[in-house]
Structure 1
Amino acid sequence: MKRFLHSFRYAAQGIVQAYRSEQNMRVHSVVAVVVLAAAAFFRVPGRDVMLLLLAVTLVLSAELLNTAIEAAVDLASPEIHPLAKAAKDTAAGAVLLTALFAVAAGIYVFYRPVIDWIAGIVS
């Protein structure tokens, strides 16, 4: 049981390390808070909030994996090498792909509420 509980502590340390070392992790987190606050402001239905939470989780998870891959590659290959670059670029591509999904999910969820809100202001 003690080992099991330690695994949570190690995972939390990894998340904290990513926040401290990676600006993109902090940026994604701030955007996530803004998106979830907007969901509350626009009273987005629960199923749509779940879609937003899925998108946020995917982006943050991809960023954590990207950070881990970059650290492992830097350790294994401190000098510039084409395979090291390929690994890092591919991991960054995974973050980009999940971020694009998150943008699409945001447009899907917020389009109608924002249009309705603007129409209420204009009229």
Structure 2
Amino acid sequence: MPPNLLDSRPLKGQRGFRRILNATSYSLAGLKAAFVGEAAFRQLVMLNLLLIPVACLLDVSRVERALLIAVVLLAPIVELLNSAIEATVDRISLELHPLSKRAKDMGSAAQLLVLVLIAAVWATILL
């Protein structure tokens, strides 16, 4: 019986607890790469380090506090995805191409929408 070409299990490596450890290691490596190599990611980390404590000090309900923190945490998450898209596009080719530009612009647009969302949620709750 031929192997199932859609089955990626042989490519996954370890199982169980070892797989969790490996995945954690890869995730930490990704965070380090983003922090070292992406100025925008560092700026968003600094924004989180500023706004999360502020959210904890504000006189708001627990739900409002959770929302203030959650939207701020979205920004570095989207930046990680945006940076991954950019790295993948650059890995494929550094040649200027309309589809490459489109992919990178869409990643950037996602980040812009998150920043607008942060401003809107914070303004709605605080004003």
TM-score interval, normalised by the smaller of the two chains: 0.7 to 0.9
The total of aligned residue pairs comes to 111
Residue deviations 1:15-73 (CA, integer Å, cap 9, x gap): 11111111111111111221122223333332111101220222111100000000000
Corresponding residue to 1:78 among 94, 98, 106 = 94
Deviates more, 1:62-71 or 1:39-48: 39-48
| 8 Å contact from structure 2 (residues 48, 73) kept in 1 | no
Aligned to 1:44, the other structure's residue is in SS state: coil
Give the letter for the 2:59 counterpart: R
Identity %: 32
Structure 1 moving runs of 4+ over 6 Å: none
- Opposite residue 29 of structure 2, the aligned amino acid is Q
Higher relative contact order (CA 8 A, sep 6+): 1
CA distance in 1, matches of 2:112, 2:100: 18
| 1:12 to 2:51 alignment | no
1:64-104 CA distance string (max 9 Å, x none): 00000000000002111111111000011011111110111
Q: CA RMSD in A?
A: 1.3
Counterpart AA for 1:43:
D
- Counterpart pick for 1:22 among 35, 38, 59: 38
Paired residue for 1:92?
A: 108
Looking at structure 1, the residues matched to 72 and 80 of structure 2 have their Cα atoms a distance apart, in angstroms, of 12
Stretches of structure 2 lacking an aligned partner (at least 5 in a row): 1-16
Structure 1: any 5+ residue segments left out of the alignment?
112-123
- Alignment TM-score, normalising by the size of structure 2: 0.81
Q: What is residue 7 of structure 2 aligned with on the other side?
A: none
1:51 aligned onto 2:67: yes
CA–CA separation in structure 2 for the residues paired with 1:91 and 1:76: 16
Query: Within 2, Cα distance between the matches of 1:73 and 1:23?
Result: 19
- Taking structure 1 as the reference length, what is the TM-score of the superposition? 0.83
